[in-house]
Amino acid sequence: MTVREINFDGLIGPSHNYAGLSLGNLASSRNAGAVSHPKAAALQGIEKMRSNIRLGLSQGIFLPQWRPDGAWLSALGTDVGNAEAHIRAAAMSASSMWAANAATVSPAADTADGLTHLTVANLVTMPHRSHEWPQTLAQLRLAFSDRSAFAVHGPVPAPFGDEGAANHMRLCDSHGEAGVEIFVYGQSGGPFPARQHVEASKAVARLHRLDPGRTLFVMQSEEAIAAGAFHNDVVAVANERVLFTHEQAFADKDRFYADLRVLLPSVEIVEVPASAISLADAIRSYIFNAQLVTLPDGGMALVLPTEARDIPGVWAWLEAMVAGNGPIRQIIPVDVRQSMANGGGPACLRLRVVADPANIDPRFLVDEARLDNIAGIIDAYWPEAIAPDDLADTRLIARIEQSWLTLVDHLQLSGDLIP
């Protein structure tokens, strides 16, 4: 069995738009009402995946969801033609592209039954995301259908908000060894809601049959949430033995660090001081909403958005970090500006799964040739631009639906995923 980390990226869907639906997500609010570019967005995502494959990383995909979500609208007693504008926008949301919110994943090395467990996130805090989980769960149950290797769980029940891997970290000596699982939750965020409830995190840990002695529940700082860190992955990211974090990410960092060092003595904590990079600049640049990955030669690289170069102090600190003798040896900027404008960086776009690729449905795994074919469909079918008022246009809706059908048919998933 060859266990490795596989990054499953969400393909950015043809209904990608800037409706400003995500309270507490500063980029989403700042760009509300702007014209989006779904084709460019999706192709940027493809290029990020292609770049990671060239680094020697394993890559998977999740498909966009069917939009508009007619079943959700029907449950609200309406349809896309008659819905109020904000409800229509929520039904058209392409936010499932942020696969870090698809589920929480615990590798087999951490679980009592030796299975890799995945629990789909309920995303109940935000209306436009609350209806994602049924279609996400359908894809998870297809991709990870091998019951000798995986256990896929339905969502934690409301009202306990669960936003998936964006509030979960795992530290270990190597991906295939037993690790320490860290669930980060919020209690207060000033003017913004705390989206991850501690009861949801505890429920996921129980469902995944984790060892309580190697599981930590850590509170996110109120300052981080109030500054716009609506998920922990906006201010911290972990990979194997390395935790890369902002000084103000956690409510009680000293206790967290001490507990972590007891459980994983080899841990290396790379903390960015607030005196060097403020919370505001960290969130504007999304340096922590990055993919911290182990390369085939054993070194680590930080795959981060090109926006990190736009703030001189941030870029200078990163360059000094990699020039030192720390564990992160490369910084690799990628262009995901369309996703960033809606508040999602490289880490938001992917869900990490440690598993044997042989146990995964191959339709959800990609190489460069498959990405070329998908990019061709995107180039031919995805809309060039969407303004908020366009969401009521029946011609646009028809094009979005046809785009989705063409992609799903190409990937030979139409028999399994047609809503």
For residue range 49-79, list pLDDT tens digits in order. 999 999 999 999 999 999 999 999 999 999 9
Rounded CA-CA distance 284/375 in Å is 29
Catalytic residue among 117, 128, 231, 246: 231
pLDDT tens digit sequence for 110-158? 999 999 999 999 999 999 999 999 999 999 999 999 999 999 999 999 9
Q: Count Cβ atoms below 10 Å from residue 272 Cβ, excluding itself.
A: 24
Answer yes or no: 246 catalytic.
no
262: left (phi over 0), alpha (psi -120 to 50) or beta: alpha
Mean pLDDT of 201-218: 98
Answer yes or no: 348 catalytic.
yes
Of 36-40, 190-194, 214-218, minimum mean pLDDT range: 190-194
- For residue 154, CA distances in Å to 104, 119, 143 come to 11, 6, 15
Mean pLDDT of 22-42: 77
The DSSP element (H or E) to which 215 belongs, if any, is: strand 215-219
Answer yes or no: 231 catalytic.
yes
Catalytic residue among 163, 181, 240, 307: 163
pLDDT at 362: 98
Instruction: Using the structure block, give the residue that is written with the tokens 């191959």.
Output: 362
